[in-house]
Chain A
Amino acid sequence: MAELTRTIKYEADRVKGFGRELMSVPGCEDLQSCIQCGTCSGVCPLSIYMDYSPRQVMALTRSDFKNEVLRSHTIWLCASCYACTVECPRQIRITDIMYELKQRAIHEGIYVKNFPIPVLAKEFYTMSRKYGRITENILAAFMFLKTDWLAAIGMWKLGLGLFRRGRFSLWFHAIKRKDELNRMLATVDNLSIDELKDERKKASKAT
Protein backbone atom coordinates (compact mmCIF):
# COMPACT_ATOMS: atom_id res chain seq x y z
CA MET A 1 0.00 0.00 0.00
CA ALA A 2 1.22 3.52 -0.76
CA GLU A 3 2.49 5.42 2.23
CA LEU A 4 0.33 8.41 3.00
CA THR A 5 1.73 11.53 4.61
CA ARG A 6 -0.24 14.34 6.08
CA THR A 7 0.44 17.59 4.21
CA ILE A 8 -0.91 19.95 6.86
CA LYS A 9 1.01 20.68 10.06
CA TYR A 10 -0.83 20.37 13.36
CA GLU A 11 -0.39 22.26 16.57
CA ALA A 12 0.65 18.96 18.16
CA ASP A 13 3.72 18.72 15.86
CA ARG A 14 5.28 21.75 17.49
CA VAL A 15 8.09 21.53 20.02
CA LYS A 16 7.18 24.43 22.24
CA GLY A 17 9.98 26.85 22.97
CA PHE A 18 12.23 25.79 20.06
CA GLY A 19 11.79 29.01 18.12
CA ARG A 20 12.33 31.22 21.13
CA GLU A 21 15.38 29.26 22.17
CA LEU A 22 16.90 29.55 18.71
CA MET A 23 16.22 33.27 18.58
CA SER A 24 18.21 33.73 21.78
CA VAL A 25 21.42 32.62 20.06
CA PRO A 26 23.77 35.47 19.13
CA GLY A 27 23.23 36.33 15.48
CA CYS A 28 19.78 34.67 15.23
CA GLU A 29 17.75 37.26 17.18
CA ASP A 30 16.30 39.06 14.17
CA LEU A 31 14.33 36.03 12.96
CA GLN A 32 11.50 37.50 15.05
CA SER A 33 11.04 40.26 12.49
CA CYS A 34 10.72 38.04 9.38
CA ILE A 35 7.92 39.32 7.12
CA GLN A 36 7.78 36.15 4.97
CA CYS A 37 8.47 38.08 1.77
CA GLY A 38 10.34 35.19 0.18
CA THR A 39 13.34 37.21 -1.03
CA CYS A 40 15.63 34.57 0.50
CA SER A 41 14.00 31.79 -1.52
CA GLY A 42 14.18 33.88 -4.68
CA VAL A 43 17.91 34.66 -4.48
CA CYS A 44 19.00 31.23 -3.18
CA PRO A 45 20.86 29.41 -5.99
CA LEU A 46 19.99 26.05 -4.40
CA SER A 47 16.34 26.55 -3.44
CA ILE A 48 15.30 24.69 -6.61
CA TYR A 49 16.47 21.50 -4.90
CA MET A 50 15.09 22.14 -1.42
CA ASP A 51 12.15 20.38 0.23
CA TYR A 52 11.26 23.48 2.25
CA SER A 53 12.24 26.86 0.79
CA PRO A 54 14.38 29.12 3.00
CA ARG A 55 11.29 31.27 3.64
CA GLN A 56 9.41 28.20 4.88
CA VAL A 57 12.34 27.19 7.10
CA MET A 58 12.24 30.64 8.70
CA ALA A 59 8.49 30.33 9.33
CA LEU A 60 8.71 26.76 10.64
CA THR A 61 11.61 27.59 12.93
CA ARG A 62 9.89 30.59 14.43
CA SER A 63 6.72 28.54 14.95
CA ASP A 64 8.50 25.72 16.84
CA PHE A 65 8.38 23.04 14.11
CA LYS A 66 11.68 21.65 15.26
CA ASN A 67 11.47 18.17 13.75
CA GLU A 68 10.48 19.46 10.34
CA VAL A 69 13.39 21.90 10.00
CA LEU A 70 16.05 19.66 11.53
CA ARG A 71 15.05 16.80 9.24
CA SER A 72 14.82 18.97 6.14
CA HIS A 73 17.25 18.78 3.21
CA THR A 74 17.25 22.54 3.09
CA ILE A 75 19.67 23.20 5.93
CA TRP A 76 22.23 20.86 4.30
CA LEU A 77 21.78 22.26 0.82
CA CYS A 78 22.72 25.72 2.04
CA ALA A 79 26.21 26.29 0.59
CA SER A 80 26.81 29.39 2.77
CA CYS A 81 26.88 31.87 -0.11
CA TYR A 82 25.13 34.49 2.06
CA ALA A 83 23.00 35.79 -0.84
CA CYS A 84 19.86 35.61 1.36
CA THR A 85 21.57 37.34 4.27
CA VAL A 86 22.61 40.40 2.28
CA GLU A 87 19.26 40.64 0.46
CA CYS A 88 16.96 40.20 3.45
CA PRO A 89 14.97 43.43 3.92
CA ARG A 90 14.86 42.78 7.67
CA GLN A 91 18.60 42.09 7.95
CA ILE A 92 18.00 38.58 9.25
CA ARG A 93 21.19 36.55 9.17
CA ILE A 94 19.59 33.62 7.40
CA THR A 95 22.88 31.82 6.67
CA ASP A 96 23.82 31.96 10.35
CA ILE A 97 20.40 30.58 11.29
CA MET A 98 21.02 27.72 8.84
CA TYR A 99 24.36 27.08 10.61
CA GLU A 100 22.61 27.02 13.97
CA LEU A 101 20.02 24.53 12.65
CA LYS A 102 22.78 22.31 11.20
CA GLN A 103 24.55 22.31 14.57
CA ARG A 104 21.36 21.26 16.34
CA ALA A 105 20.60 18.54 13.81
CA ILE A 106 24.10 17.08 14.24
CA HIS A 107 23.95 17.46 18.00
CA GLU A 108 20.65 15.60 18.22
CA GLY A 109 21.55 13.14 15.48
CA ILE A 110 18.29 13.61 13.61
CA TYR A 111 19.59 14.65 10.20
CA VAL A 112 18.66 12.75 7.03
CA LYS A 113 20.51 9.43 7.12
CA ASN A 114 23.19 8.75 4.51
CA PHE A 115 23.27 12.40 3.60
CA PRO A 116 26.97 13.04 2.97
CA ILE A 117 27.06 16.71 4.00
CA PRO A 118 26.65 16.28 7.77
CA VAL A 119 29.19 13.45 7.59
CA LEU A 120 31.63 15.77 5.83
CA ALA A 121 31.02 18.44 8.49
CA LYS A 122 31.66 15.95 11.30
CA GLU A 123 34.79 14.54 9.66
CA PHE A 124 36.02 18.08 9.05
CA TYR A 125 35.49 18.85 12.72
CA THR A 126 37.23 15.67 13.88
CA MET A 127 40.22 16.12 11.60
CA SER A 128 40.82 19.75 12.49
CA ARG A 129 40.45 18.87 16.16
CA LYS A 130 43.00 16.07 15.85
CA TYR A 131 45.57 17.67 13.56
CA GLY A 132 44.78 21.39 13.70
CA ARG A 133 44.63 21.47 9.92
CA ILE A 134 42.66 19.91 7.08
CA THR A 135 44.09 17.66 4.40
CA GLU A 136 41.41 17.97 1.76
CA ASN A 137 41.83 14.77 -0.23
CA ILE A 138 42.05 12.59 2.91
CA LEU A 139 38.94 14.34 4.26
CA ALA A 140 37.05 13.55 1.06
CA ALA A 141 38.19 9.92 1.23
CA PHE A 142 36.90 9.59 4.82
CA MET A 143 33.57 11.06 3.83
CA PHE A 144 33.08 8.63 0.95
CA LEU A 145 34.12 5.64 3.03
CA LYS A 146 31.53 6.54 5.65
CA THR A 147 28.67 7.29 3.28
CA ASP A 148 28.93 5.66 -0.10
CA TRP A 149 32.16 3.89 -0.90
CA LEU A 150 30.87 3.17 -4.39
CA ALA A 151 30.88 6.91 -4.98
CA ALA A 152 34.55 6.91 -3.97
CA ILE A 153 35.26 4.63 -6.88
CA GLY A 154 33.60 7.18 -9.14
CA MET A 155 36.07 9.76 -7.83
CA TRP A 156 39.26 7.83 -8.70
CA LYS A 157 39.79 9.82 -11.87
CA LEU A 158 39.67 13.12 -10.02
CA GLY A 159 42.02 11.77 -7.35
CA LEU A 160 44.48 10.53 -9.93
CA GLY A 161 44.28 13.86 -11.76
CA LEU A 162 45.06 15.73 -8.53
CA PHE A 163 47.94 13.35 -7.82
CA ARG A 164 49.48 13.85 -11.25
CA ARG A 165 49.27 17.61 -10.86
CA GLY A 166 50.88 17.61 -7.44
CA ARG A 167 47.69 18.74 -5.72
CA PHE A 168 47.31 15.55 -3.68
CA SER A 169 48.64 15.12 -0.14
CA LEU A 170 49.74 11.66 0.92
CA TRP A 171 49.69 12.30 4.66
CA PHE A 172 48.00 14.56 7.21
CA HIS A 173 49.04 18.18 7.54
CA ALA A 174 49.35 19.01 11.24
CA ILE A 175 50.25 21.88 13.53
CA LYS A 176 53.13 21.74 16.03
CA ARG A 177 51.44 23.02 19.19
CA LYS A 178 48.38 20.75 19.22
CA ASP A 179 48.23 20.98 23.03
CA GLU A 180 47.75 24.70 22.91
CA LEU A 181 44.81 24.41 20.51
CA ASN A 182 43.28 21.48 22.39
CA ARG A 183 43.40 23.35 25.68
CA MET A 184 41.63 26.26 24.01
CA LEU A 185 38.89 24.09 22.53
CA ALA A 186 38.43 22.21 25.81
CA THR A 187 37.49 25.53 27.43
CA VAL A 188 34.40 25.62 25.23
CA ASP A 189 33.49 22.02 26.12
CA ASN A 190 33.72 22.79 29.82
CA LEU A 191 31.52 25.81 29.60
CA SER A 192 27.91 25.22 30.56
CA ILE A 193 25.26 26.36 28.13
CA ASP A 194 23.23 27.93 30.94
CA GLU A 195 26.13 30.11 31.87
CA LEU A 196 26.25 31.39 28.31
CA LYS A 197 22.52 32.00 28.22
CA ASP A 198 22.50 34.16 31.34
CA GLU A 199 25.22 36.23 29.80
CA ARG A 200 23.15 36.51 26.62
CA LYS A 201 20.09 37.76 28.47
CA LYS A 202 22.11 40.35 30.29
CA ALA A 203 23.65 41.41 27.03
CA SER A 204 20.32 41.90 25.27
CA LYS A 205 18.95 43.87 28.24
CA ALA A 206 21.95 46.12 28.26
CA THR A 207 21.62 47.08 24.62
Chain B
Amino acid sequence: MKYSYFPGCSLKGTGRAYEESLLPVFQALGVELEELDDWNCCGATAYMAVDEVKACVMASRNLAIAEKAGHPELIAPCSACYLVLNKTKHYLQESPAVQKVIQAALKEGKLTYSGNVPVRHPLDVLVNNIGLAEIKKRVKHPLKGLKVAPYYGCQMVRPYATFDDQYNPTTMDRLLEALGCTMVNYPLKTRCCGGSLTGTLPEPGLLCSYILLKEAIKRGADVIATVCPLCQFNLDGYHDKIEAKWESVRIPTVFFSQLMGLAFGLSEKELGLHRGFIPMKPLLAPAVA
Protein backbone atom coordinates (compact mmCIF):
# COMPACT_ATOMS: atom_id res chain seq x y z
CA MET B 1 0.00 0.00 0.00
CA LYS B 2 1.31 3.41 -0.98
CA TYR B 3 0.12 6.93 -0.20
CA SER B 4 1.27 10.34 -1.36
CA TYR B 5 2.58 12.36 1.56
CA PHE B 6 2.42 16.13 2.04
CA PRO B 7 4.72 17.07 4.94
CA GLY B 8 4.19 20.85 4.98
CA CYS B 9 6.69 23.40 6.25
CA SER B 10 6.38 22.69 9.99
CA LEU B 11 7.25 19.00 9.61
CA LYS B 12 10.54 20.08 8.02
CA GLY B 13 11.10 22.77 10.66
CA THR B 14 10.07 23.07 14.29
CA GLY B 15 7.82 20.01 14.06
CA ARG B 16 10.31 17.65 12.45
CA ALA B 17 9.81 15.11 15.24
CA TYR B 18 6.32 14.52 13.79
CA GLU B 19 7.79 13.41 10.45
CA GLU B 20 10.63 11.53 12.12
CA SER B 21 8.14 9.42 14.06
CA LEU B 22 5.38 9.14 11.46
CA LEU B 23 7.47 7.69 8.64
CA PRO B 24 8.97 4.72 10.58
CA VAL B 25 5.59 3.96 12.15
CA PHE B 26 3.93 3.68 8.74
CA GLN B 27 6.90 1.70 7.50
CA ALA B 28 6.55 -0.74 10.40
CA LEU B 29 2.94 -1.25 9.32
CA GLY B 30 4.03 -1.97 5.75
CA VAL B 31 2.61 1.26 4.33
CA GLU B 32 4.82 3.49 2.21
CA LEU B 33 4.51 7.28 2.25
CA GLU B 34 5.95 8.92 -0.83
CA GLU B 35 6.73 12.61 -0.40
CA LEU B 36 5.08 14.86 -3.00
CA ASP B 37 7.55 16.05 -5.60
CA ASP B 38 8.46 19.72 -5.09
CA TRP B 39 5.45 20.49 -2.87
CA ASN B 40 4.93 24.11 -1.78
CA CYS B 41 3.50 25.87 1.28
CA CYS B 42 -0.16 24.85 1.65
CA GLY B 43 -1.36 28.47 1.90
CA ALA B 44 -2.22 28.18 5.59
CA THR B 45 -3.88 30.47 8.12
CA ALA B 46 -1.58 33.49 7.88
CA TYR B 47 -1.59 33.40 4.07
CA MET B 48 -5.40 33.27 4.02
CA ALA B 49 -5.41 36.59 5.87
CA VAL B 50 -3.65 38.27 2.95
CA ASP B 51 -5.17 36.62 -0.10
CA GLU B 52 -7.54 33.71 0.19
CA VAL B 53 -7.78 33.04 -3.53
CA LYS B 54 -4.00 32.79 -3.81
CA ALA B 55 -3.96 30.49 -0.79
CA CYS B 56 -6.29 28.20 -2.73
CA VAL B 57 -4.00 28.43 -5.78
CA MET B 58 -1.04 27.41 -3.60
CA ALA B 59 -3.02 24.45 -2.30
CA SER B 60 -4.23 23.50 -5.78
CA ARG B 61 -0.67 23.12 -7.05
CA ASN B 62 -0.10 20.49 -4.38
CA LEU B 63 -3.36 18.75 -5.21
CA ALA B 64 -2.44 18.68 -8.90
CA ILE B 65 1.01 17.25 -8.16
CA ALA B 66 -0.63 14.59 -5.97
CA GLU B 67 -2.97 13.64 -8.77
CA LYS B 68 -0.03 13.35 -11.14
CA ALA B 69 1.85 11.12 -8.66
CA GLY B 70 -0.86 8.53 -9.23
CA HIS B 71 -1.41 7.24 -5.70
CA PRO B 72 -5.08 7.10 -4.77
CA GLU B 73 -4.86 9.27 -1.64
CA LEU B 74 -2.83 12.07 -0.07
CA ILE B 75 -1.85 12.10 3.60
CA ALA B 76 -1.44 15.52 5.28
CA PRO B 77 -0.38 15.24 8.95
CA CYS B 78 -0.36 18.97 9.83
CA SER B 79 -3.84 20.15 10.81
CA ALA B 80 -3.45 23.49 9.03
CA CYS B 81 -2.36 21.84 5.76
CA TYR B 82 -5.08 19.23 6.14
CA LEU B 83 -7.69 21.96 6.47
CA VAL B 84 -6.43 24.23 3.67
CA LEU B 85 -6.15 21.37 1.18
CA ASN B 86 -9.67 20.20 2.06
CA LYS B 87 -11.03 23.74 2.07
CA THR B 88 -9.67 24.28 -1.43
CA LYS B 89 -11.40 21.11 -2.57
CA HIS B 90 -14.68 22.44 -1.09
CA TYR B 91 -14.26 25.82 -2.81
CA LEU B 92 -13.58 24.08 -6.10
CA GLN B 93 -16.89 22.26 -5.77
CA GLU B 94 -18.97 25.15 -4.40
CA SER B 95 -17.80 28.27 -6.15
CA PRO B 96 -17.60 28.54 -9.94
CA ALA B 97 -15.70 31.82 -9.50
CA VAL B 98 -12.92 30.27 -7.43
CA GLN B 99 -12.90 27.25 -9.72
CA LYS B 100 -12.37 29.48 -12.72
CA VAL B 101 -9.37 31.22 -11.15
CA ILE B 102 -7.78 27.99 -9.97
CA GLN B 103 -8.20 26.27 -13.32
CA ALA B 104 -6.66 29.27 -15.09
CA ALA B 105 -3.73 29.24 -12.66
CA LEU B 106 -3.18 25.51 -13.03
CA LYS B 107 -3.18 25.87 -16.80
CA GLU B 108 -0.52 28.54 -16.49
CA GLY B 109 1.57 26.09 -14.44
CA LYS B 110 0.92 23.36 -17.03
CA LEU B 111 -0.84 21.29 -14.38
CA THR B 112 -4.25 19.71 -14.21
CA TYR B 113 -6.50 18.78 -11.34
CA SER B 114 -9.77 16.96 -11.83
CA GLY B 115 -10.87 16.84 -8.19
CA ASN B 116 -9.74 13.34 -7.33
CA VAL B 117 -7.24 12.36 -4.62
CA PRO B 118 -8.90 12.57 -1.20
CA VAL B 119 -6.85 14.41 1.44
CA ARG B 120 -6.60 12.21 4.52
CA HIS B 121 -5.31 12.67 8.04
CA PRO B 122 -2.82 10.00 9.18
CA LEU B 123 -5.03 9.21 12.22
CA ASP B 124 -7.89 8.46 9.87
CA VAL B 125 -5.78 6.16 7.70
CA LEU B 126 -4.20 4.39 10.68
CA VAL B 127 -7.47 3.60 12.44
CA ASN B 128 -9.94 3.32 9.57
CA ASN B 129 -7.80 1.74 6.82
CA ILE B 130 -4.93 -0.08 8.48
CA GLY B 131 -7.02 -0.89 11.54
CA LEU B 132 -6.43 -1.25 15.27
CA ALA B 133 -6.01 -5.05 15.01
CA GLU B 134 -3.06 -4.62 12.65
CA ILE B 135 -1.56 -1.93 14.89
CA LYS B 136 -1.93 -4.10 18.00
CA LYS B 137 0.04 -6.85 16.27
CA ARG B 138 3.08 -4.57 16.02
CA VAL B 139 3.08 -3.49 19.67
CA LYS B 140 6.24 -4.79 21.35
CA HIS B 141 6.22 -2.63 24.46
CA PRO B 142 2.69 -1.82 25.58
CA LEU B 143 2.59 1.62 27.19
CA LYS B 144 0.86 0.21 30.27
CA GLY B 145 0.14 2.74 32.96
CA LEU B 146 0.94 5.80 30.83
CA LYS B 147 -1.87 8.29 31.36
CA VAL B 148 -2.46 10.35 28.25
CA ALA B 149 -4.58 13.46 27.64
CA PRO B 150 -5.70 13.27 23.98
CA TYR B 151 -5.57 16.74 22.43
CA TYR B 152 -6.95 17.10 18.90
CA GLY B 153 -6.95 20.88 18.55
CA CYS B 154 -9.14 22.84 16.15
CA GLN B 155 -8.52 22.34 12.51
CA MET B 156 -8.70 18.55 12.29
CA VAL B 157 -12.37 18.63 13.31
CA ARG B 158 -13.43 22.18 12.43
CA PRO B 159 -15.01 23.33 10.23
CA TYR B 160 -15.07 19.93 8.49
CA ALA B 161 -15.42 16.86 10.69
CA THR B 162 -14.40 14.46 7.95
CA PHE B 163 -13.81 11.24 9.84
CA ASP B 164 -14.63 11.84 13.51
CA ASP B 165 -17.14 13.46 15.83
CA GLN B 166 -16.84 17.24 15.78
CA TYR B 167 -17.42 17.71 19.51
CA ASN B 168 -15.91 14.57 20.96
CA PRO B 169 -13.42 13.00 18.55
CA THR B 170 -12.22 9.58 19.70
CA THR B 171 -9.97 8.24 16.91
CA MET B 172 -6.76 9.04 18.79
CA ASP B 173 -8.24 7.75 22.08
CA ARG B 174 -8.92 4.38 20.49
CA LEU B 175 -5.53 4.28 18.80
CA LEU B 176 -3.59 5.03 21.99
CA GLU B 177 -5.70 2.61 24.00
CA ALA B 178 -4.67 -0.07 21.54
CA LEU B 179 -1.05 0.71 22.50
CA GLY B 180 -1.88 0.10 26.16
CA CYS B 181 -2.20 3.74 27.27
CA THR B 182 -4.79 4.86 29.78
CA MET B 183 -6.77 7.79 28.41
CA VAL B 184 -7.78 10.49 30.85
CA ASN B 185 -11.07 12.29 30.33
CA TYR B 186 -9.99 15.55 28.68
CA PRO B 187 -12.98 17.73 27.80
CA LEU B 188 -10.77 20.44 26.28
CA LYS B 189 -9.63 18.08 23.52
CA THR B 190 -10.77 20.42 20.74
CA ARG B 191 -10.23 23.80 22.42
CA CYS B 192 -7.93 26.27 20.64
CA CYS B 193 -4.22 26.30 21.66
CA GLY B 194 -3.87 29.96 20.64
CA GLY B 195 -2.47 29.20 17.18
CA SER B 196 0.09 31.73 16.02
CA LEU B 197 -1.02 34.25 18.68
CA THR B 198 1.44 32.74 21.18
CA GLY B 199 4.22 34.36 19.15
CA THR B 200 2.45 37.57 18.19
CA LEU B 201 0.34 38.55 21.20
CA PRO B 202 1.65 36.61 24.20
CA GLU B 203 -1.09 37.44 26.69
CA PRO B 204 -4.10 36.05 24.81
CA GLY B 205 -2.14 33.31 23.04
CA LEU B 206 -0.36 31.90 26.06
CA LEU B 207 -3.53 31.94 28.14
CA CYS B 208 -5.07 29.47 25.68
CA SER B 209 -2.07 27.12 26.04
CA TYR B 210 -1.92 27.56 29.82
CA ILE B 211 -5.57 26.51 30.22
CA LEU B 212 -4.94 23.33 28.22
CA LEU B 213 -1.78 22.39 30.15
CA LYS B 214 -3.32 23.07 33.54
CA GLU B 215 -6.40 21.01 32.77
CA ALA B 216 -4.29 18.04 31.59
CA ILE B 217 -2.36 18.07 34.88
CA LYS B 218 -5.56 18.45 36.90
CA ARG B 219 -6.96 15.39 35.13
CA GLY B 220 -3.94 13.34 36.15
CA ALA B 221 -2.26 12.99 32.75
CA ASP B 222 1.46 12.11 32.43
CA VAL B 223 1.65 13.38 28.88
CA ILE B 224 -0.43 15.22 26.27
CA ALA B 225 -0.70 13.59 22.85
CA THR B 226 -1.32 15.85 19.86
CA VAL B 227 -1.88 15.63 16.09
CA CYS B 228 -0.69 19.09 15.04
CA PRO B 229 2.80 20.65 14.89
CA LEU B 230 1.59 24.10 15.99
CA CYS B 231 -0.28 22.69 18.98
CA GLN B 232 2.82 20.70 19.95
CA PHE B 233 4.98 23.80 19.65
CA ASN B 234 2.63 25.96 21.73
CA LEU B 235 2.16 23.40 24.50
CA ASP B 236 5.87 22.50 24.61
CA GLY B 237 7.89 25.63 23.82
CA TYR B 238 6.52 28.38 26.07
CA HIS B 239 6.76 26.90 29.57
CA ASP B 240 9.19 29.59 30.79
CA LYS B 241 6.86 32.37 29.74
CA ILE B 242 3.77 30.63 31.10
CA GLU B 243 5.54 30.06 34.40
CA ALA B 244 6.56 33.71 34.61
CA LYS B 245 2.99 34.85 33.97
CA TRP B 246 0.92 32.31 35.90
CA GLU B 247 2.41 29.14 37.37
CA SER B 248 4.43 26.06 36.45
CA VAL B 249 2.40 23.60 34.37
CA ARG B 250 5.22 21.38 33.12
CA ILE B 251 3.84 18.35 31.33
CA PRO B 252 5.35 16.92 28.13
CA THR B 253 3.44 17.20 24.86
CA VAL B 254 4.28 14.64 22.17
CA PHE B 255 2.89 13.57 18.80
CA PHE B 256 0.64 10.50 18.83
CA SER B 257 3.05 8.97 16.32
CA GLN B 258 5.90 9.21 18.85
CA LEU B 259 3.87 7.16 21.33
CA MET B 260 3.13 4.64 18.57
CA GLY B 261 6.85 4.38 17.80
CA LEU B 262 7.69 3.77 21.46
CA ALA B 263 5.10 1.01 21.63
CA PHE B 264 6.53 -0.48 18.42
CA GLY B 265 9.93 -0.64 20.11
CA LEU B 266 11.65 2.16 18.15
CA SER B 267 14.31 4.21 19.92
CA GLU B 268 13.61 7.62 21.41
CA LYS B 269 16.24 9.18 19.20
CA GLU B 270 14.70 7.73 16.03
CA LEU B 271 11.35 9.16 17.06
CA GLY B 272 12.67 12.64 17.74
CA LEU B 273 11.72 12.52 21.42
CA HIS B 274 14.92 14.37 22.32
CA ARG B 275 13.50 17.42 20.52
CA GLY B 276 10.90 18.20 23.18
CA PHE B 277 11.48 21.00 25.68
CA ILE B 278 9.79 19.03 28.45
CA PRO B 279 11.32 15.54 28.29
CA MET B 280 9.15 12.49 28.55
CA LYS B 281 11.87 10.08 29.55
CA PRO B 282 11.60 10.00 33.35
CA LEU B 283 7.88 9.47 33.04
CA LEU B 284 8.18 6.63 30.63
CA ALA B 285 10.83 4.62 32.45
CA PRO B 286 8.51 3.20 35.12
CA ALA B 287 5.70 2.85 32.60
CA VAL B 288 7.69 0.54 30.32
CA ALA B 289 9.23 -1.42 33.19
The answer to whether A86 and B158 touch (CB under 8 A), given A125-B50, A166-B16, A188-B53, is yes
Q: Do residues B197 and A140 form an inter-chain contact, with CB atoms below 8 A?
A: no
Q: Do residues B105 and A162 form an inter-chain contact, with CB atoms below 8 A?
A: no
Asked whether A200 is an interface residue with its Cβ less than 8 Å from the other chain, the reply is: yes
Asked whether A93 is an interface residue with its Cβ less than 8 Å from the other chain, the reply is: yes
A81 to B80 CA separation, bound complex (whole angstroms): 10
The answer to whether A184 and B13 touch (CB under 8 A), given A86-B159, A125-B51, A158-B237, is no
Indicate which residue in A106, A158, A165, A202 contacts B50 across the interface (CB closer than 8 Å): A106
The answer to whether A167 and B275 touch (CB under 8 A), given A93-B159, A124-B47, A158-B238, is yes
Q: Do residues B106 and A184 form an inter-chain contact, with CB atoms below 8 A?
A: yes
Q: Do residues A46 and B204 form an inter-chain contact, with CB atoms below 8 A?
A: yes
Indicate which residue in B58, B110, B237, B275 contacts A166 across the interface (CB closer than 8 Å): B275
Q: Do residues B100 and A199 form an inter-chain contact, with CB atoms below 8 A?
A: yes
Nearest residue (CB) in B for A102 is B49
Asked whether A161 is an interface residue with its Cβ less than 8 Å from the other chain, the reply is: yes
Asked whether B118 is an interface residue with its Cβ less than 8 Å from the other chain, the reply is: no
Indicate which residue in A26, A165, A169, A200 contacts B275 across the interface (CB closer than 8 Å): A165
A177 to B240 CA separation, bound complex (whole angstroms): 41
Asked whether B155 is an interface residue with its Cβ less than 8 Å from the other chain, the reply is: yes
Q: Do residues A82 and B159 form an inter-chain contact, with CB atoms below 8 A?
A: yes
Min Cβ gap B251→A in Å is 17
Asked whether A175 is an interface residue with its Cβ less than 8 Å from the other chain, the reply is: yes
Nearest residue (CB) in A for B196 is A120
Indicate which residue in B10, B97, B195 contacts A196 across the interface (CB closer than 8 Å): B97
Interface size class of A (residues with CB under 8 A): 35 or more
Taking CB atoms and an 8 Å cut-off, the chain B residues in 13-51 that contact chain A are 13-17, 38-41, 43, 45-51
Min Cβ gap B230→A in Å is 9
Q: Do residues A183 and B57 form an inter-chain contact, with CB atoms below 8 A?
A: no
Asked whether A1 is an interface residue with its Cβ less than 8 Å from the other chain, the reply is: no
A175 to B38 CA separation, bound complex (whole angstroms): 6
* Chain B hits for A118, CB < 8 A: 49
Taking CB atoms and an 8 Å cut-off, the chain A residues in 158-207 that contact chain B are 158, 161-162, 165-169, 173, 175-177, 180-181, 183-188, 191, 196, 199-200, 202-203
A126 to B155 CA separation, bound complex (whole angstroms): 24
A183 to B58 CA separation, bound complex (whole angstroms): 11
The answer to whether A185 and B105 touch (CB under 8 A), given A81-B192, A82-B159, A124-B47, is yes
Q: Do residues B97 and A181 form an inter-chain contact, with CB atoms below 8 A?
A: no
Comparing B88-96, B173-181, B218-226, B254-262, the segment that makes contact with chain A is B88-96
A96 to B197 CA separation, bound complex (whole angstroms): 18
Most buried by B among A96, A100, A120: A120
Asked whether A49 is an interface residue with its Cβ less than 8 Å from the other chain, the reply is: yes
Min Cβ gap B47→A in Å is 6
The answer to whether A184 and B195 touch (CB under 8 A), given A81-B154, A125-B46, A165-B275, is no
Hey, what's the 0/1 contact readout for B161-200 against A, CB within 8 Å counting as 1? 0000010000000000000000000000001101111011
3 A-B pairs closest in CB distance: A82-B158, A81-B192, A79-B195
- List the interface of chain A (C-beta within 8 A of B): 26-27, 45-46, 48-49, 77, 79-83, 85-86, 93, 95-96, 99-100, 102-103, 106, 116-118, 120-122, 124-125, 128, 132-137, 140, 143, 157-158, 161-162, 165-169, 173, 175-177, 180-181, 183-188, 191, 196, 199-200, 202-203
Known: A79-B197, A165-B274, A181-B109. 19 other contacts (CB 8 A): A26-B95, A26-B97, A46-B192, A77-B204, A99-B48, A102-B50, A125-B54, A133-B12, A140-B199, A165-B276, A167-B13, A173-B9, A181-B40, A184-B60, A184-B109, A184-B111, A186-B108, A187-B104, A200-B97
